[in-house]
Chain A
Amino acid sequence: MKNYDQITEEIRKIAKKILNDKTVDKVIGFGLGTINQEITPLFISKAEGAKKLVFNKNSHMSLAKYLLNYKNEDVAIVAKPCDSRAINTYLSEKIINRNDIKVIGIQGCPGIEGNTACLECEVRNAVISDYDVGEKISKKKTNQLKEEKDFDSLSPEERFKYFRNEFERCTRCYACREACYVCYCKECFTESNQPEWLNKSVSLNENFTYHLMRAMHMAGRCVNCGACELACPEGIDVRALAAKMYNTATEIFDYKVGMDQKQKTLLAEYDVHDSEKGFME
Protein backbone atom coordinates (compact mmCIF):
# COMPACT_ATOMS: atom_id res chain seq x y z
CA MET A 1 0.00 0.00 0.00
CA LYS A 2 1.39 3.39 -0.96
CA ASN A 3 1.27 6.32 1.37
CA TYR A 4 -0.50 9.66 0.93
CA ASP A 5 2.56 11.44 -0.42
CA GLN A 6 3.31 8.79 -2.99
CA ILE A 7 -0.30 8.85 -4.15
CA THR A 8 -0.25 12.65 -4.26
CA GLU A 9 2.80 12.57 -6.53
CA GLU A 10 1.15 10.13 -8.90
CA ILE A 11 -2.04 12.18 -9.05
CA ARG A 12 -0.04 15.33 -9.92
CA LYS A 13 1.84 13.52 -12.66
CA ILE A 14 -1.28 12.18 -14.30
CA ALA A 15 -3.17 15.44 -13.97
CA LYS A 16 -0.34 17.33 -15.58
CA LYS A 17 -0.15 14.92 -18.47
CA ILE A 18 -3.83 14.79 -19.31
CA LEU A 19 -4.23 18.54 -19.03
CA ASN A 20 -1.18 19.02 -21.21
CA ASP A 21 -2.35 16.72 -23.96
CA LYS A 22 -5.87 18.10 -23.69
CA THR A 23 -7.39 14.72 -22.84
CA VAL A 24 -9.51 16.67 -20.41
CA ASP A 25 -10.38 20.29 -19.82
CA LYS A 26 -10.44 20.05 -16.09
CA VAL A 27 -9.26 17.91 -13.22
CA ILE A 28 -11.32 17.70 -10.05
CA GLY A 29 -9.21 16.79 -7.06
CA PHE A 30 -8.32 17.68 -3.51
CA GLY A 31 -6.30 20.76 -2.59
CA LEU A 32 -5.41 22.70 0.49
CA GLY A 33 -7.43 25.71 1.49
CA THR A 34 -5.93 29.05 2.36
CA ILE A 35 -7.16 28.99 5.93
CA ASN A 36 -5.56 26.36 8.16
CA GLN A 37 -4.50 24.36 5.14
CA GLU A 38 -7.86 22.59 5.30
CA ILE A 39 -8.68 20.09 2.61
CA THR A 40 -10.88 21.52 -0.11
CA PRO A 41 -12.09 20.54 -3.56
CA LEU A 42 -9.82 21.84 -6.28
CA PHE A 43 -10.65 22.38 -9.94
CA ILE A 44 -7.58 22.55 -12.12
CA SER A 45 -7.69 23.47 -15.79
CA LYS A 46 -4.01 24.28 -16.49
CA ALA A 47 -1.22 21.76 -16.36
CA GLU A 48 0.85 24.06 -14.15
CA GLY A 49 -1.86 23.86 -11.50
CA ALA A 50 -1.50 20.12 -11.14
CA LYS A 51 1.11 20.55 -8.44
CA LYS A 52 -1.54 22.03 -6.18
CA LEU A 53 -3.35 18.69 -6.02
CA VAL A 54 -2.95 16.67 -2.84
CA PHE A 55 -4.26 13.55 -1.23
CA ASN A 56 -3.96 13.30 2.53
CA LYS A 57 -5.59 11.71 5.53
CA ASN A 58 -8.20 14.43 5.59
CA SER A 59 -9.39 14.06 1.99
CA HIS A 60 -12.81 13.06 3.15
CA MET A 61 -15.29 14.69 0.87
CA SER A 62 -16.88 12.85 -2.02
CA LEU A 63 -15.79 14.76 -5.10
CA ALA A 64 -18.15 12.72 -7.25
CA LYS A 65 -20.96 15.13 -6.60
CA TYR A 66 -19.06 17.87 -8.47
CA LEU A 67 -19.34 15.84 -11.63
CA LEU A 68 -22.95 16.93 -11.73
CA ASN A 69 -21.76 20.53 -12.17
CA TYR A 70 -19.65 19.60 -15.18
CA LYS A 71 -22.04 17.47 -17.16
CA ASN A 72 -21.07 17.20 -20.81
CA GLU A 73 -17.59 18.60 -20.18
CA ASP A 74 -14.44 16.54 -20.42
CA VAL A 75 -13.26 16.27 -16.85
CA ALA A 76 -11.05 14.00 -14.86
CA ILE A 77 -11.74 13.27 -11.24
CA VAL A 78 -9.69 11.91 -8.38
CA ALA A 79 -11.67 9.09 -6.87
CA LYS A 80 -11.23 7.16 -3.67
CA PRO A 81 -12.74 3.65 -3.84
CA CYS A 82 -15.97 4.92 -2.32
CA ASP A 83 -16.05 7.82 -4.79
CA SER A 84 -15.44 5.40 -7.65
CA ARG A 85 -18.53 3.48 -6.63
CA ALA A 86 -20.45 6.71 -6.47
CA ILE A 87 -19.31 7.41 -10.04
CA ASN A 88 -20.54 3.99 -11.12
CA THR A 89 -23.86 4.72 -9.50
CA TYR A 90 -24.11 7.97 -11.42
CA LEU A 91 -23.31 6.10 -14.60
CA SER A 92 -25.95 3.47 -13.89
CA GLU A 93 -28.43 6.21 -13.08
CA LYS A 94 -27.40 7.81 -16.37
CA ILE A 95 -26.74 11.12 -14.69
CA ILE A 96 -23.34 11.40 -16.34
CA ASN A 97 -21.79 9.98 -19.50
CA ARG A 98 -18.87 7.62 -19.34
CA ASN A 99 -17.31 9.33 -22.35
CA ASP A 100 -17.23 12.67 -20.61
CA ILE A 101 -15.17 11.59 -17.64
CA LYS A 102 -11.77 10.20 -16.83
CA VAL A 103 -11.26 8.65 -13.45
CA ILE A 104 -7.99 8.88 -11.56
CA GLY A 105 -8.70 5.93 -9.34
CA ILE A 106 -6.97 5.49 -6.01
CA GLN A 107 -5.96 1.87 -5.57
CA GLY A 108 -5.19 0.69 -2.10
CA CYS A 109 -6.79 3.62 -0.37
CA PRO A 110 -5.12 4.29 2.99
CA GLY A 111 -8.39 5.65 4.35
CA ILE A 112 -9.48 8.89 5.93
CA GLU A 113 -8.77 9.86 9.49
CA GLY A 114 -11.80 9.98 11.67
CA ASN A 115 -14.10 8.38 9.12
CA THR A 116 -15.57 5.33 10.81
CA ALA A 117 -16.90 4.20 7.44
CA CYS A 118 -13.34 3.53 6.30
CA LEU A 119 -13.04 0.92 9.01
CA GLU A 120 -15.95 -0.91 7.45
CA CYS A 121 -14.71 -0.51 3.86
CA GLU A 122 -14.30 -3.84 2.12
CA VAL A 123 -13.46 -2.47 -1.31
CA ARG A 124 -10.23 -0.53 -0.81
CA ASN A 125 -9.57 -0.21 -4.57
CA ALA A 126 -11.23 2.07 -7.11
CA VAL A 127 -13.71 -0.03 -9.09
CA ILE A 128 -13.69 2.26 -12.10
CA SER A 129 -10.49 3.89 -13.17
CA ASP A 130 -8.79 5.20 -16.28
CA TYR A 131 -5.56 6.11 -14.54
CA ASP A 132 -4.61 4.05 -11.53
CA VAL A 133 -2.72 5.70 -8.71
CA GLY A 134 -1.45 3.87 -5.65
CA GLU A 135 -1.38 0.11 -5.85
CA LYS A 136 -4.09 -2.47 -5.58
CA ILE A 137 -4.43 -4.40 -2.37
CA SER A 138 -6.44 -7.51 -1.72
CA LYS A 139 -9.96 -6.84 -0.62
CA LYS A 140 -9.21 -7.77 2.91
CA LYS A 141 -12.12 -7.13 5.16
CA THR A 142 -11.09 -4.71 7.82
CA ASN A 143 -13.16 -4.08 10.89
CA GLN A 144 -16.23 -4.59 8.82
CA LEU A 145 -19.57 -4.25 10.57
CA LYS A 146 -17.89 -3.41 13.81
CA GLU A 147 -20.39 -0.66 14.39
CA GLU A 148 -23.36 -2.76 13.52
CA LYS A 149 -22.41 -5.62 15.74
CA ASP A 150 -22.65 -3.24 18.62
CA PHE A 151 -26.19 -2.45 17.61
CA ASP A 152 -27.04 -6.10 17.40
CA SER A 153 -26.35 -6.55 21.05
CA LEU A 154 -28.86 -3.85 21.88
CA SER A 155 -32.54 -4.51 22.38
CA PRO A 156 -35.04 -2.71 20.14
CA GLU A 157 -35.83 -0.40 23.06
CA GLU A 158 -32.18 0.43 23.51
CA ARG A 159 -31.69 1.09 19.84
CA PHE A 160 -34.81 3.21 19.76
CA LYS A 161 -33.50 5.19 22.69
CA TYR A 162 -30.09 5.54 21.09
CA PHE A 163 -31.53 7.00 17.90
CA ARG A 164 -33.91 9.26 19.77
CA ASN A 165 -30.97 10.67 21.66
CA GLU A 166 -29.11 11.16 18.43
CA PHE A 167 -31.93 12.69 16.41
CA GLU A 168 -33.01 14.92 19.27
CA ARG A 169 -29.90 16.98 18.55
CA CYS A 170 -30.68 17.28 14.86
CA THR A 171 -31.46 20.80 13.72
CA ARG A 172 -32.37 19.62 10.24
CA CYS A 173 -29.62 21.73 8.71
CA TYR A 174 -29.40 19.05 5.98
CA ALA A 175 -25.58 19.09 5.93
CA CYS A 176 -25.78 15.29 5.75
CA ARG A 177 -27.90 15.59 2.65
CA GLU A 178 -25.64 18.13 1.01
CA ALA A 179 -22.57 15.99 1.65
CA CYS A 180 -24.16 12.91 0.16
CA TYR A 181 -23.43 12.09 -3.42
CA VAL A 182 -26.76 10.36 -4.00
CA CYS A 183 -28.74 13.41 -2.96
CA TYR A 184 -29.29 15.20 -6.23
CA CYS A 185 -33.08 15.25 -6.62
CA LYS A 186 -34.28 18.49 -8.14
CA GLU A 187 -36.65 18.91 -5.24
CA CYS A 188 -35.82 17.17 -1.99
CA PHE A 189 -38.65 15.31 -0.33
CA THR A 190 -38.01 17.45 2.73
CA GLU A 191 -39.16 20.45 0.75
CA SER A 192 -42.15 18.85 -0.89
CA ASN A 193 -45.53 20.16 0.16
CA GLN A 194 -47.59 17.99 -2.14
CA PRO A 195 -47.64 15.86 -0.15
CA GLU A 196 -45.96 17.20 2.89
CA TRP A 197 -43.78 14.20 3.65
CA LEU A 198 -42.34 16.03 6.61
CA ASN A 199 -43.77 18.60 8.89
CA LYS A 200 -41.46 21.58 8.84
CA SER A 201 -41.30 21.76 12.63
CA VAL A 202 -38.03 20.55 14.09
CA SER A 203 -39.52 18.04 16.49
CA LEU A 204 -38.20 14.63 17.37
CA ASN A 205 -41.06 12.85 15.63
CA GLU A 206 -40.29 14.70 12.40
CA ASN A 207 -36.51 14.45 12.81
CA PHE A 208 -36.71 10.72 13.26
CA THR A 209 -39.03 10.48 10.28
CA TYR A 210 -36.57 12.50 8.22
CA HIS A 211 -33.69 10.17 8.99
CA LEU A 212 -35.74 7.07 8.26
CA MET A 213 -36.93 8.49 4.98
CA ARG A 214 -33.41 9.54 4.07
CA ALA A 215 -32.14 6.02 4.75
CA MET A 216 -34.94 4.48 2.69
CA HIS A 217 -34.29 7.00 -0.07
CA MET A 218 -30.72 5.77 -0.25
CA ALA A 219 -31.44 2.08 0.20
CA GLY A 220 -29.40 0.27 -2.42
CA ARG A 221 -27.72 3.50 -3.49
CA CYS A 222 -25.64 4.52 -0.48
CA VAL A 223 -22.03 3.30 -0.80
CA ASN A 224 -21.41 3.82 2.91
CA CYS A 225 -18.71 6.43 2.37
CA GLY A 226 -19.26 8.22 5.63
CA ALA A 227 -19.49 11.72 4.16
CA CYS A 228 -22.76 12.42 5.93
CA GLU A 229 -21.40 11.56 9.32
CA LEU A 230 -18.33 13.75 8.83
CA ALA A 231 -20.55 16.59 7.68
CA CYS A 232 -22.87 16.65 10.69
CA PRO A 233 -22.14 19.68 12.87
CA GLU A 234 -23.89 18.09 15.82
CA GLY A 235 -21.86 14.93 15.65
CA ILE A 236 -24.98 12.83 15.21
CA ASP A 237 -24.60 9.23 14.06
CA VAL A 238 -26.39 9.98 10.81
CA ARG A 239 -24.68 7.16 8.94
CA ALA A 240 -26.02 4.29 11.03
CA LEU A 241 -29.39 3.91 9.31
CA ALA A 242 -27.96 4.18 5.82
CA ALA A 243 -25.20 1.76 6.75
CA LYS A 244 -27.86 -0.65 7.94
CA MET A 245 -29.48 -0.45 4.51
CA TYR A 246 -26.10 -0.93 2.89
CA ASN A 247 -25.36 -4.05 4.91
CA THR A 248 -28.87 -5.43 4.51
CA ALA A 249 -28.57 -5.17 0.74
CA THR A 250 -25.41 -7.22 0.89
CA GLU A 251 -26.58 -9.77 3.40
CA ILE A 252 -30.07 -10.43 2.11
CA PHE A 253 -29.84 -9.64 -1.58
CA ASP A 254 -26.14 -10.15 -2.19
CA TYR A 255 -26.18 -6.68 -3.67
CA LYS A 256 -23.27 -4.27 -3.66
CA VAL A 257 -23.96 -0.90 -5.06
CA GLY A 258 -21.65 0.85 -7.52
CA MET A 259 -19.49 -2.12 -8.41
CA ASP A 260 -20.46 -1.90 -12.05
CA GLN A 261 -21.64 0.93 -14.22
CA LYS A 262 -24.42 -1.12 -15.79
CA GLN A 263 -25.84 -2.36 -12.52
CA LYS A 264 -29.53 -1.80 -11.92
CA THR A 265 -30.42 -0.26 -8.62
CA LEU A 266 -31.39 -2.69 -5.85
CA LEU A 267 -35.08 -1.82 -5.84
CA ALA A 268 -35.40 -1.88 -9.64
CA GLU A 269 -34.85 -5.59 -9.90
CA TYR A 270 -35.96 -8.75 -8.18
CA ASP A 271 -35.40 -12.44 -8.06
CA VAL A 272 -38.42 -14.72 -8.04
CA HIS A 273 -36.89 -16.43 -5.03
CA ASP A 274 -36.08 -13.26 -3.11
CA SER A 275 -36.04 -13.43 0.65
CA GLU A 276 -39.20 -12.68 2.57
CA LYS A 277 -37.33 -12.06 5.77
CA GLY A 278 -39.52 -10.58 8.45
CA PHE A 279 -42.79 -11.34 6.65
CA MET A 280 -45.67 -12.71 8.71
CA GLU A 281 -45.56 -16.46 9.43
Chain B
Amino acid sequence: MSNDFEPKIAAFLCTWCSYAAADLAGSSRIQYPPNIRVVRVPCTGRMDPFLLIKAFNMGADGILVSGCHPGDCHYLDGNLYARRKFVMLNELMQFAGVKKERLNFTWCSASEGKRFADVVNKAVKRVKSVGPWQGFDGKGFQSKEGELISEEL
Protein backbone atom coordinates (compact mmCIF):
# COMPACT_ATOMS: atom_id res chain seq x y z
CA MET B 1 0.00 0.00 0.00
CA SER B 2 1.19 3.51 -0.57
CA ASN B 3 2.43 5.61 2.29
CA ASP B 4 0.21 8.54 1.51
CA PHE B 5 -2.88 6.63 2.54
CA GLU B 6 -4.91 8.99 4.70
CA PRO B 7 -7.49 7.02 6.63
CA LYS B 8 -10.79 8.45 7.70
CA ILE B 9 -11.81 7.34 11.14
CA ALA B 10 -15.25 7.71 12.68
CA ALA B 11 -14.68 8.97 16.21
CA PHE B 12 -17.53 8.77 18.71
CA LEU B 13 -16.87 10.93 21.75
CA CYS B 14 -19.00 11.41 24.82
CA THR B 15 -19.77 15.03 25.37
CA TRP B 16 -18.70 15.26 29.02
CA CYS B 17 -15.22 13.80 29.07
CA SER B 18 -13.69 12.84 25.75
CA TYR B 19 -15.24 15.60 23.67
CA ALA B 20 -14.05 17.99 26.38
CA ALA B 21 -10.58 16.40 26.18
CA ALA B 22 -10.58 17.03 22.43
CA ASP B 23 -11.51 20.65 23.09
CA LEU B 24 -8.70 20.90 25.61
CA ALA B 25 -6.21 19.52 23.11
CA GLY B 26 -7.45 22.36 20.91
CA SER B 27 -7.13 25.15 23.41
CA SER B 28 -3.69 23.80 24.33
CA ARG B 29 -2.87 23.71 20.59
CA ILE B 30 -1.66 20.13 20.78
CA GLN B 31 -1.36 19.01 17.17
CA TYR B 32 -2.61 15.64 15.97
CA PRO B 33 -3.42 14.14 12.55
CA PRO B 34 -6.60 15.33 10.82
CA ASN B 35 -7.94 11.86 10.14
CA ILE B 36 -10.78 11.65 12.61
CA ARG B 37 -14.37 12.71 12.06
CA VAL B 38 -15.99 13.33 15.40
CA VAL B 39 -19.57 12.35 16.11
CA ARG B 40 -20.62 13.77 19.45
CA VAL B 41 -22.85 11.63 21.64
CA PRO B 42 -24.13 12.40 25.13
CA CYS B 43 -22.59 9.29 26.64
CA THR B 44 -20.85 6.16 25.46
CA GLY B 45 -23.89 4.44 26.93
CA ARG B 46 -25.75 5.85 23.93
CA MET B 47 -23.52 3.93 21.53
CA ASP B 48 -25.53 1.22 19.86
CA PRO B 49 -22.98 -1.24 18.44
CA PHE B 50 -25.03 -1.13 15.23
CA LEU B 51 -23.73 2.38 14.65
CA LEU B 52 -20.17 1.10 14.71
CA ILE B 53 -20.93 -1.73 12.31
CA LYS B 54 -22.71 0.80 10.15
CA ALA B 55 -19.62 3.04 10.09
CA PHE B 56 -17.67 0.23 8.48
CA ASN B 57 -20.57 -0.52 6.18
CA MET B 58 -20.34 3.06 4.95
CA GLY B 59 -16.63 3.06 4.44
CA ALA B 60 -14.91 4.25 7.59
CA ASP B 61 -11.35 2.94 7.66
CA GLY B 62 -11.56 2.59 11.39
CA ILE B 63 -13.47 3.62 14.45
CA LEU B 64 -12.48 5.34 17.65
CA VAL B 65 -14.79 5.37 20.64
CA SER B 66 -13.87 7.26 23.77
CA GLY B 67 -15.86 8.02 26.89
CA CYS B 68 -15.33 8.99 30.49
CA HIS B 69 -13.04 6.75 32.51
CA PRO B 70 -14.90 4.07 34.44
CA GLY B 71 -16.25 5.77 37.54
CA ASP B 72 -16.31 9.24 35.97
CA CYS B 73 -19.51 8.89 33.93
CA HIS B 74 -21.66 12.00 34.00
CA TYR B 75 -24.67 9.69 33.93
CA LEU B 76 -23.24 7.51 36.71
CA ASP B 77 -22.66 4.25 34.87
CA GLY B 78 -23.40 4.59 31.15
CA ASN B 79 -19.78 3.91 30.25
CA LEU B 80 -19.78 0.72 32.30
CA TYR B 81 -22.68 -0.67 30.27
CA ALA B 82 -20.95 0.57 27.14
CA ARG B 83 -17.73 -1.21 28.02
CA ARG B 84 -19.40 -4.62 27.78
CA LYS B 85 -20.95 -3.80 24.44
CA PHE B 86 -17.60 -2.67 23.09
CA VAL B 87 -15.79 -5.78 24.27
CA MET B 88 -18.44 -7.97 22.65
CA LEU B 89 -18.41 -5.98 19.41
CA ASN B 90 -14.64 -5.92 19.30
CA GLU B 91 -14.49 -9.69 19.66
CA LEU B 92 -17.12 -10.14 17.01
CA MET B 93 -15.52 -7.86 14.45
CA GLN B 94 -12.08 -9.35 14.91
CA PHE B 95 -13.52 -12.83 14.67
CA ALA B 96 -15.19 -11.92 11.41
CA GLY B 97 -11.80 -10.81 10.12
CA VAL B 98 -11.84 -7.06 10.67
CA LYS B 99 -8.34 -6.17 11.79
CA LYS B 100 -8.05 -5.14 15.41
CA GLU B 101 -6.15 -2.02 14.39
CA ARG B 102 -9.37 -0.63 12.96
CA LEU B 103 -11.17 -0.95 16.28
CA ASN B 104 -10.10 1.59 18.85
CA PHE B 105 -11.80 1.85 22.22
CA THR B 106 -10.52 3.97 25.06
CA TRP B 107 -11.32 6.52 27.76
CA CYS B 108 -10.20 10.15 28.06
CA SER B 109 -11.12 12.45 30.90
CA ALA B 110 -11.90 16.12 30.45
CA SER B 111 -8.45 17.06 31.68
CA GLU B 112 -6.60 14.72 29.33
CA GLY B 113 -6.08 16.91 26.28
CA LYS B 114 -2.62 15.52 25.76
CA ARG B 115 -3.85 11.99 26.14
CA PHE B 116 -6.57 12.63 23.59
CA ALA B 117 -3.99 13.75 21.05
CA ASP B 118 -1.91 10.69 21.87
CA VAL B 119 -4.94 8.48 21.40
CA VAL B 120 -5.68 9.96 17.99
CA ASN B 121 -2.04 9.62 16.96
CA LYS B 122 -2.06 6.05 17.98
CA ALA B 123 -5.39 5.21 16.37
CA VAL B 124 -4.35 6.82 13.09
CA LYS B 125 -1.08 4.93 13.15
CA ARG B 126 -2.89 1.68 13.81
CA VAL B 127 -5.37 2.17 11.00
CA LYS B 128 -2.64 3.30 8.63
CA SER B 129 -0.72 0.13 9.36
CA VAL B 130 -3.51 -2.03 7.95
CA GLY B 131 -4.27 0.05 4.89
CA PRO B 132 -7.56 1.23 3.44
CA TRP B 133 -10.74 -0.51 4.51
CA GLN B 134 -12.05 -2.43 1.54
CA GLY B 135 -15.59 -2.87 2.76
CA PHE B 136 -17.05 -6.11 3.97
CA ASP B 137 -17.06 -7.28 0.37
CA GLY B 138 -13.35 -6.58 -0.01
CA LYS B 139 -14.12 -4.73 -3.21
CA GLY B 140 -13.09 -1.31 -2.01
CA PHE B 141 -15.08 1.90 -2.22
CA GLN B 142 -15.68 4.24 -5.08
CA SER B 143 -15.50 7.96 -4.84
CA LYS B 144 -18.57 9.84 -6.01
CA GLU B 145 -17.17 10.13 -9.49
CA GLY B 146 -17.07 6.37 -9.79
CA GLU B 147 -13.35 6.15 -9.50
CA LEU B 148 -12.04 3.31 -7.39
CA ILE B 149 -10.27 4.90 -4.45
CA SER B 150 -8.78 1.78 -3.08
CA GLU B 151 -7.89 -1.50 -4.59
CA GLU B 152 -8.03 -4.90 -3.12
CA LEU B 153 -4.83 -5.95 -1.46
- Complex alpha-carbon distance, A245 and B94, angstroms: 12
Contact of A245 among B53, B71, B88 (CB under 8 A): B88
Contact of A280 among B56, B71, B87, B123 (CB under 8 A): B123
Q: How many A-B residue pairs have CB under 8 A?
A: 129
A216-B137 contact, Cβ under 8 Å, with A248-B88, A276-B83: no
Using Cβ atoms and an 8 Å threshold, which residues of chain A touch B88?
216, 219-220, 245, 248-249, 266-267
- Tell me whether B137 and A164 are in contact (CB under 8 A): yes
Residue-wise, chain B 75-109 has the 8 Å CB interface mask toward A (1 for contact) of 00100110111111111111111111001111000
- Tell me whether A276 and B96 are in contact (CB under 8 A): no
- Complex alpha-carbon distance, A270 and B139, angstroms: 38
- Tell me whether B137 and A205 are in contact (CB under 8 A): yes
- Tell me whether B87 and A274 are in contact (CB under 8 A): yes
Contact of B92 among A164, A197, A203, A215 (CB under 8 A): A215
Using Cβ atoms and an 8 Å threshold, which residues of chain B touch A212?
53, 92-93, 96, 136
A245-B97 contact, Cβ under 8 Å, with A205-B135, A216-B49: no
Using Cβ atoms and an 8 Å threshold, which residues of chain A touch B85?
219, 267
Interface residues of A in 241-281 (CB under 8 A from B): 241, 244-245, 248-249, 252-253, 266-268, 270, 272, 274-281
Say whether B122 faces chain A, with CB atoms less than 8 Å apart.
yes
Using Cβ atoms and an 8 Å threshold, which residues of chain B touch A164?
97, 136-138
Using Cβ atoms and an 8 Å threshold, which residues of chain B touch A213?
50, 53
Most buried by A among B50, B94, B98: B50
Interface residues of A in 4-47 (CB under 8 A from B): none
- Tell me whether A278 and B87 are in contact (CB under 8 A): yes
- Complex alpha-carbon distance, A230 and B97, angstroms: 24
Using Cβ atoms and an 8 Å threshold, which residues of chain A touch B106?
279-281
Say whether B54 faces chain A, with CB atoms less than 8 Å apart.
yes
- Tell me whether A270 and B80 are in contact (CB under 8 A): yes
Shortest beta-carbon distance from B142 to chain A in Å: 12
Say whether B68 faces chain A, with CB atoms less than 8 Å apart.
no
Say whether B70 faces chain A, with CB atoms less than 8 Å apart.
yes
Contact of B91 among A162, A197, A244 (CB under 8 A): A244
Using Cβ atoms and an 8 Å threshold, which residues of chain B touch A253?
84
- Tell me whether B105 and A279 are in contact (CB under 8 A): yes
Contact of A278 among B71, B77, B103 (CB under 8 A): B103
User: Contacting chain B: which of A95-103, A113-121, A151-159?
Assistant: A151-159
- What residue in chain A is nearest B94 (Cβ atoms)? A156
Using Cβ atoms and an 8 Å threshold, which residues of chain A touch B95?
151, 159, 241, 244
Say whether B14 faces chain A, with CB atoms less than 8 Å apart.
no
Say whether B119 faces chain A, with CB atoms less than 8 Å apart.
yes
A267-B139 contact, Cβ under 8 Å, with A212-B96, A216-B49: no
Inter-chain pairs besides A245-B88, A279-B87, A280-B123, 16 sampled, C-beta below 8 Å: A156-B97, A163-B97, A164-B136, A204-B139, A208-B136, A208-B137, A209-B56, A212-B92, A244-B95, A252-B91, A267-B84, A267-B85, A270-B84, A274-B80, A278-B94, A278-B105
Chain B interface (Cβ < 8 Å from any Cβ of A): 49-50, 53-54, 56-57, 70-71, 77, 80-81, 83-100, 103-106, 119, 122-123, 135-139
